[in-house]
Structure 1
Amino acid sequence: MASEIKQHRKRRNLIQLIVAIISNAYIVGFLEGKIYRGDVKAFCVPGLNCYACPGALGSCPIGSLQAVIGSRDKFISWYVGGFLVAVGATLGRFVCGWMCPFGWFQDLLHRIPIPKGWKRRRRLPGEKYLSLIRYGVLVVLVILLPMFLVDIIGQGSPYFCSWVCPSGTLSGLFLLAGNVGLRSVASWLFAWKNLILAITIVASIVVYRPFCRYICPLGAIYGLFNPVSLYRFSINHDSCTSCKTCQKVCKLDIPVFEKPNSTACIRCGDCIAACPHDAILHGFRQPQVKPSTDAGTSSDYPS
């Protein structure tokens, strides 16, 4: 089982690397400290990948959503809204586990060795309530503030990108490294966001994917689609023995055998590789499985 999980994680890591490279393939931007503004930039990428990254070839869907909501001329973009619905309805949070560059960045940070006992591979106290913060961030910072807190000409600001997003801050560091002029005008706001990035980096070393679990509004959107997306998990209860191996190997501590499509699940697939009975089914065409007769209801994170 250990070897299967190891091989699975290697494959996933390779795919995450490839997606990150493709999403940020504008090498000239890194060398000259300039943002790519070509035609491709009008299209969204599935994961959280800041528009301001010098290498970014596409736009972040959260940044694009805020730009439209904050516009004095429009409050809705059929393209951005349709993109989020289409990706969410097809893949759910599979995007988070396999196609998000900032999610991969957190994965790499969590591999940094620290003294035994410091890493928290399971839930934090109040995990169930902490996981609700991402919905508050989505509603308040991404939607309400850009819509209603506007300037004198009726233009809203992308508050999540401007005030919080550590992915954007990381991209900004690359931009500043290649652009001396921008370094001279970096403000206190950039210092504030660097503090958030620093906290995220330290937290990611100790806790698995803290930004994804508690803050990310894109993950909040995709998570809502997990139970109904075309790609999803199911349990073959004829094979499942409720041994909890899936929950033990899950870095988010999700009881997959009870709630295979939790809104918190990033669909990394570790549980599938670890299951000794091959009881976790996955794919776009879901086989018919019998409901468990003794499995009760449960929240995303057990009490």
Structure 2
Amino acid sequence: MTAQVALLEPVEKTEERKNEYGFPKPTLQKAKPYSWGLRNSIQLTIFLVTIGIGIHFFIYFLQASGDATITVSRPAGVEGFLPIGALMGWKLFVLTGIWDPVHPAAMVILGFAGLISLTLRKSFCGWFCPVGTLSEWLWKLGRKVFGRNYRIPVWLDFPLRSLKYLLLGFFVWTIFSMSRLAILAFLRSPYYKMSDVKMLFFFTQMSTTTFVVLAILVLASLVFRNLWCRYLCPYGALTGLLALVSPTRIQRNSDTCIECKLCSEVCPYHLPVDSKDRIISPECNGCMDCTLVCPGGRNTLELKTIGIRKKFWSTAKLGIVIIVVYVGLVYTATIAGHWKSSVSEQEFRMRLQEINAPQYTHPRG
């Protein structure tokens, strides 16, 4: 039985009313579109685990900064926030077969995101990514506080959505224009060996400008749905492009559709689910919210993998597969020795003492 169920109840037919996006509100049935379900539970779990990893790393950093014995290990999961280095690592691996030993978990996590996107749409973003989860919580909070969210005009929405692809293009062009030796030098540089510490400093030694920019993003995210994910996240741009070839997509049966438009209303990316037979947009993050509010149920709207007849994805199936794939990849990487960093406690402590030296600045400035 599906773990997340839309609560449906009949209502009396009245004159046509319009919602905040200009769609007619359904008069035949009424759904509860923002109920808590399995996906939200998985998001919360991953988010709390991420916070725990951050605290774990901070404790490791504090212990390594002093002379006392280090009682905790350097958590590998923190490397999930090093996607640029991971992309460099994957290029080096393709060219040489060498797996980056400095931040190997970064490659595993990026590989997981890519694999899921190629097979199950951009569900990494909709189910797993802690930044995506925070972005979703913010616009839902804004909806509760202000009673609604706002939508950026179409003429401005398209160029803004291009920003994340431009950012991704810049990073990809920079990395793929680097030679094998240049990438190897970067991945072995003092800066990259301590890049997780540099990332920690981004939050603990935040400049006024950085704080103001983040505050603006947070406030804007209360008003606009998934602001960061929709317009600025290059990670999401990459997973979205990979998802274009995914055989899994939302499919609509126009014969049983009653055109209530609930699916389009609830879609966090404003996709026209109600007017398309299949959704192949790189913006679809596989959240399945549209299928859960559909009055027609699975006979009308479903997440289905092309080529597998009479098979559809429920939230339970999709959530379990995503978690199993991640755990399986982490376990395999651990057994193969490609999860923990090769930087020892002694080296980490030594480098931490000289972290402000010139060699620990970014190689490109």
TM-score normalised by L of structure 2: 0.55
Equivalent position of 2:85 in the other structure: 64
Structure 1 residues 120, 24: closer, same or farther in 2, change over 3 A? same
Partners of 1:147 and 1:132 in 2: how far apart?
21
Identity %: 25
- Note if contact 1:70-1:156 (Cα within 8 Å) is conserved in structure 2: no
* 1:96 paired residue among 94, 111, 125: 125
- Note if contact 2:264-2:290 (Cα within 8 Å) is conserved in structure 1: yes
SS of the equivalent of 1:110 reads helix
Asked if residue 213 in structure 1 is aligned to residue 230 in structure 2, the reply is yes
Asked if residue 194 in structure 1 is aligned to residue 211 in structure 2, the reply is yes
Structure 1 residues 267, 143: closer, same or farther in 2, change over 3 A? same
Shift of 1:145: 3.4
Shift of 1:288: 6.8
Cα deviation, 1:249-296, whole Å, max 9, x if unaligned, reads 22321111315232111222221111111211114465479xxxxxxx
- Note if contact 1:65-1:77 (Cα within 8 Å) is conserved in structure 2: no
**Structure index of larger Rg:** 2
Paired residues, what number? 248
Higher mean alpha-carbon deviation, 239-248 vs 28-37, is at: 28-37
- Note if contact 1:23-1:58 (Cα within 8 Å) is conserved in structure 2: no
Structure 1 residues 271, 70: closer, same or farther in 2, change over 3 A? closer
SS of the equivalent of 1:232 reads strand
User: Which structure: greater helix fraction?
Assistant: 2
Equivalent position of 1:145 in the other structure: 174
Partners of 2:280 and 2:186 in 1: how far apart?
35
1:167-246 residue pairs with structure 2 within 5 A?
A: 172=201, 176=204, 183=205, 190-246=207-263
SS of the equivalent of 1:233 reads strand
Shift of 1:192: 3.9
Partners of 2:119 and 2:138 in 1: how far apart?
29
Structure 1 residues 126, 228: closer, same or farther in 2, change over 3 A? same
Equivalent position of 2:3 in the other structure: none
Shift of 1:131: 1.4
- Note if contact 2:164-2:233 (Cα within 8 Å) is conserved in structure 1: yes
SS of the equivalent of 2:141 reads coil
Equivalent position of 2:286 in the other structure: 267
Partners of 2:253 and 2:225 in 1: how far apart?
28
Shift of 1:24: 4.3
Equivalent position of 1:292 in the other structure: none
SS of the equivalent of 1:104 reads helix
* 1:126 paired residue among 148, 156, 163: 156
- Note if contact 1:233-1:283 (Cα within 8 Å) is conserved in structure 2: yes
**1:137 counterpart letter in structure 2:** L
- Note if contact 1:93-1:226 (Cα within 8 Å) is conserved in structure 2: yes
Structure 1 residues 170, 22: closer, same or farther in 2, change over 3 A? same
- Note if contact 1:134-1:217 (Cα within 8 Å) is conserved in structure 2: yes
Cα RMSD, aligned residues only: 4.0
SS of the equivalent of 2:132 reads helix
**2:253 counterpart letter in structure 1:** N
Shift of 1:97: 1.0
Structure 1 residues 214, 120: closer, same or farther in 2, change over 3 A? same
Partners of 1:61 and 1:231 in 2: how far apart?
28
**2:211 counterpart letter in structure 1:** N
- Note if contact 2:263-2:291 (Cα within 8 Å) is conserved in structure 1: yes
- Note if contact 1:121-1:252 (Cα within 8 Å) is conserved in structure 2: no
Equivalent position of 2:266 in the other structure: 249
Stretches of structure 1 lacking an aligned partner (at least 5 in a row) = 42-55, 163-167, 177-182, 290-303
